[in-house]
Amino acid sequence: MQSSTSPVAVAPLFEPIQLGSLTLRNRVFMAALTRNRSVPTNVPNDVNLEYYKQRAKSAGLIISEGVLINRQGTEWPHAPGIWSQEQIAGWKKVTDAVHKEGSVIFAQLWHVGRVAHPDAPEQKATGQPVYAPSAVAAQGGKFRFIDGEPGYVKPTAVEDPIVLVDLFEQAAINAKEAGFDGVEVHGANGYLVHQFLDSTSNTRTDSWGGSVVNRSRFGLLVLQRLIKVFGKDRVGIKLSPGGGYNDMGMSLEETVETFSYFITEADKLRIAYIDVVRYMEAFDPAKRGTSHDVVATYGPLIKNARFFPNGGFSGEEAAALVKAGKASGVFFGFPWVTHPDVAKRLQFGKPLDNQVDFATLYGKYYAPEEEQKKGYTDYPEAQY
């Protein structure tokens, strides 16, 4: 955990910022964090509400955990969705609570693509196969709630990707009804949008694969659909060019070519922000990724959107980027798991010293709501 910071050193993080028509009170943002606590039926509950309410007291911007745009057999059986009216109502309670605390919240729209499993109960319930750009299995995975704890399997290549684009648009409509201030496309970490971008997971020979332009088509079309629902200044995207996680990765040359094109084209849409995640070795045990400086490589390409980097930044490092004009704000991820008051701690020079309880990081499978609080809403704030 990080030691205490100097309030003077991190002062640039506490200047308000405009994100389109939204005013963010600071530049310390909460990245999307899967916590697997929406029991029993993928509907946001009172424990989820308390978790977000705690963090809304200091975060300038909150991105929800990945919100499934339709029923999918993911590794996280209690990840929340946004395909039903019950889920919309659950999220409305969360967004109302966040707004009451003075923060802003975007929904991260999530389709996992090939890293779902056909034998997962949620996937079986759909009556649909696991769709992906191509019939190429990812290495790895561990579905602990399925007998034998299997890994990833070969998916079914979706015949017409437009059917998946349509799901993102409907999810955005639902997110708007649920009171979210905007939406973020999950285009990182080896999930569906990333799978279309990467030539190792997208081997299509039609207009959705092959060239950089074709591989970028899916993600850009998703952004255009979300803009239609929310407006351009309420849409963002998260990208992880370095790959690694979920068996993603191209050569350095192809990586830079692909993501430079995609980011340039996304920026032309004048969306609210682009979140680019640094390569992190800890999330690449198979050494599939391509380590490179994403801030220096892609930051200068962003002319219209806000650039919000992400990935293991310290408070001082984040503040230095903002002060130098290399970023407009910074996403923090894991510190928010164990500290409900990350931004306030940085502002007042308090250390990020709560120790993580890894045993409860993703909750307890199929346990009741009351049992999901441990390691979720019980991390203490600092003394001020």
CA dist 131 and 159 (Å) reads: 9
Burial of residue 163, with CB atoms counted within 10 A of its CB: 0-12 exposed, 13-18 middle, 19 or more buried: exposed
- Are β-strands 273-277 and 235-239 bridged in parallel, bridged antiparallel, or unpaired? parallel
DSSP string for residues in 36-88: ---TTTS---HHHHHHHHHHHTT-SEEEEEEEESS----S-TT--B-SSHHHH
The contacts of residue 300 (CB under 8 Å, 6+ apart) are none
Strand partners, 24: 17
The contacts of residue 190 (CB under 8 Å, 6+ apart) are 115, 138, 198, 201, 243, 245, 246, 247, 248
Look at residues 52, 54, 55, 58 and name the one whose alpha carbon lies nearest to residue 25. 58
Looking at residue 105, what DSSP letter applies? E
Q: Among this protein's residues, is 191 annotated catalytic?
A: yes
Exactly one of 52, 131, 191, 362 is catalytic; which is it?
A: 191
Can you tell me which residue has the tokens 């490179």?
A: 292
CA dist 35 and 122 (Å) reads: 17
CA dist 37 and 68 (Å) reads: 13
Kindly state the tokens that stand for 324: 């130098």
Kindly state the tokens that stand for 302: 């962003």
CA dist 190 and 80 (Å) reads: 19
Sign of the CA dihedral with 21 first, then 22, 25, and 31 last: negative
| In the chain, alpha helices (H) | 46-56, 85-100, 121-126, 162-177, 192-197, 212-230, 252-268, 294-298, 315-323, 334-338, 342-347
CA dist 274 and 352 (Å) reads: 26
User: Which positions are annotated as active-site residues?
Assistant: 191
